[in-house]
């Protein structure tokens, strides 16, 4: 990929500051030859539609004034309102939020949801702040980005270090500023405020569903299959539990406190309980602590990176001995690592497909809010599983047709749908 062309990157990012956005740009470059006549519009995908950086001044509990930097990026809205989470993390950058918004565009299109892609974040370590401070920070952030969000414009959702309570504060702040209760402005809300049953487990359940589909394609029996999970929050924890319930052996788990291993299978429920009580999995009984390098090198049928982006790189990819990588996180594998895994015969089920369960149930929540008619959890899970299986089958078919990876196939599907909408809508004015 050449980044020296005048249209390759926004002027406010230098070639040395691309970060995750650079990974996304390379993914677009790789898919461009497969876009046919739509390739004339490909520059649309290489720049966000709108990037907002906001200052968030807040009075802390001790009476001092602190300032935090917040972002909301709308990458593309040709197919519908922007959709994407809000994360609170001390390492949030504009490059990261841009890339996450772009991956949301591809994801919603690949699963054929009527959304575009967006993402938000605040550069903050939430663990250093009280509940009251987090509420004030969230409300001020919502007020600052309120000019560009809305149920028909851009719908935030939870992400890293945010949850249903965060969404309740955002919904209330937006509603107060609008002068009317507007439940559809965010998804991932508490059930009492119009949230959807099944939303908390949706991403992990989607990872499980497509993992089972991929395993079947590779001739792997889930019962007895070994599973390794990096990240043990809602996504990794839910996926691990569902795989164990299906008869698989979760032989290793990593979170921010430890890497734990048991070749006979870890007790996922005990891990979940220990993590909830102690803030992490470190110290869980009947598990051996291993190094990060040993964790990635474990022989396994399924490897699920479900933490942050950039976890599988050219450094550790050669050591990976998994038959299938199912990306529960956004952007966990770099392009260089992708090539290494492919050369070693590892199938990668990409993030824009594998972790689309969350945004799919967010879509269900958005629809339910508009109609004020709510579905049962069984109905939600049934609809989710049907849509994930359909999306997987479509992407796998494109991969076989063109002889490409599933990531390239998902990008062919998603980019084609976005650019077709761009073409038929035309340019205004």
- Which positions are annotated as active-site residues? 119
Burial of 103 (0-12, 13-18, 19+ CB in 10 A): buried
DSSP letter for 46, please: G
Q: Measured on CA atoms in the order 98, 99, 100, 103, is the torsion positive or negative? A: positive
Closest to 321 (Cα-Cα) out of 303, 306, 308, 333: 303
Write the DSSP assignment of 250-297 as a string of letters.
EEEEE-SS-EEE-TT---HHHHHHHHHHHSSSTT-SS-EE--HHHHHT
User: Which pair of tokens denotes residue 53?
Assistant: 């950086």
CA nearest neighbour of 265 among 241, 283, 281? 241
Other C-beta atoms lying within 10 Å of the C-beta of residue 66: 14
Q: Please classify residue 14 by burial: count the beta carbons closer than 10 Å to its beta carbon, then call 0-12 exposed, 13-18 middle and 19+ buried.
A: exposed
**Using an 8 Å Cβ cutoff, are 203 and 159 in contact?**
no
Beta strands across the sheet bearing 259-261: 288-289, 259-261, 249-254, 226-230, 299-305, 321-326, 347-349
CA 57 – CA 68 distance, rounded (Å): 6
Secondary structure class of 232 (helix, strand, coil): coil
Structure token digits, residue 426: 């035309």
Q: Is 169 helix (H, G, I), strand (E, B) or coil?
A: helix
Radius of gyration in angstroms for the set of CA atoms belonging to the chain, rounded to a whole number: 21
């Amino acid at each position: 990929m050449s980044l020296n062309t005048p249209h390759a990157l926004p002027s406010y990012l230098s070639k040395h500051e691309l970060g995750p956005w650079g990974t996304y740009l390379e993914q677009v470059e790789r898919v461009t030859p497969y876009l046919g006549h739509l390739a004339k519009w490909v520059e649309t995908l290489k720049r966000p539609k709108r990037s907002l950086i906001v200052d968030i001044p807040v009075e802390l509990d001790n009476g001092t004034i602190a300032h935090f930097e917040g972002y909301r990026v709308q990458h593309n809205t040709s197919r519908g309102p922007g959709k994407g989470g809000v994360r609170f993390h001390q390492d949030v950058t504009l490059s990261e939020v841009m890339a996450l918004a772009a991956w949301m565009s591809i994801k919603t299109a690949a699963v054929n949801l009527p959304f575009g892609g967006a993402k938000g974040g605040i550069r903050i370590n939430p663990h250093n702040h009280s509940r009251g401070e987090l509420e004030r920070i969230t409300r001020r952030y919502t007020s600052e980005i309120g000019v560009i969000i809305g149920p028909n414009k851009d719908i935030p959702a939870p992400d890293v270090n945010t949850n249903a309570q965060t969404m309740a504060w955002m919904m209330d702040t937006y509603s107060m500023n609008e002068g009317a209760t507007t439940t559809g402005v965010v998804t991932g809300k508490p059930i009492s405020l119009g949230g959807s049953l099944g939303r908390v487990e949706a991403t992990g359940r989607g990872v499980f569903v497509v993992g089972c589909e991929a395993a079947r394609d590779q001739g792997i029996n889930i019962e007895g299959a070994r599973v390794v999970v990096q990240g043990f929050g809602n996504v990794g924890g839910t996926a691990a539990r569902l795989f164990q319930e299906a008869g698989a052996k979760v032989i290793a788990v990593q979170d921010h406190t430890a890497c734990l291993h048991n070749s006979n299978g870890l007790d996922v429920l005990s891990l979940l309980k220990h993590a909830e009580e102690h803030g992490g999995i470190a110290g869980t009984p009947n598990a051996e602590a291993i190094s990060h390098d040993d964790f990635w090198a474990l022989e396994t049928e399924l490897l699920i990176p479900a933490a942050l982006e950039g976890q599988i790189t050219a450094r550790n990819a050669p050591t990976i001995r998994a038959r299938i990588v199912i990306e529960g996180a956004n952007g966990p594998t770099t392009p260089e690592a992708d090539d290494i895994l492919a050369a070693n015969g590892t199938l990668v089920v990409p993030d824009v497909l594998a972790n689309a369960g969350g945004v799919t149930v967010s879509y269900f929540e958005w629809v339910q809010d508009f109609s004020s008619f709510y579905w049962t959890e069984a109905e939600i899970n049934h609809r989710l599983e049907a849509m994930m299986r359909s999306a997987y089958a479509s992407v796998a078919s494109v991969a076989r047709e063109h002889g490409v990876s599933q990531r390239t196939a998902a990008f062919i599907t998603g980019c084609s749908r976005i650019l077709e909408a761009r073409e038929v809508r035309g340019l205004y004015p």
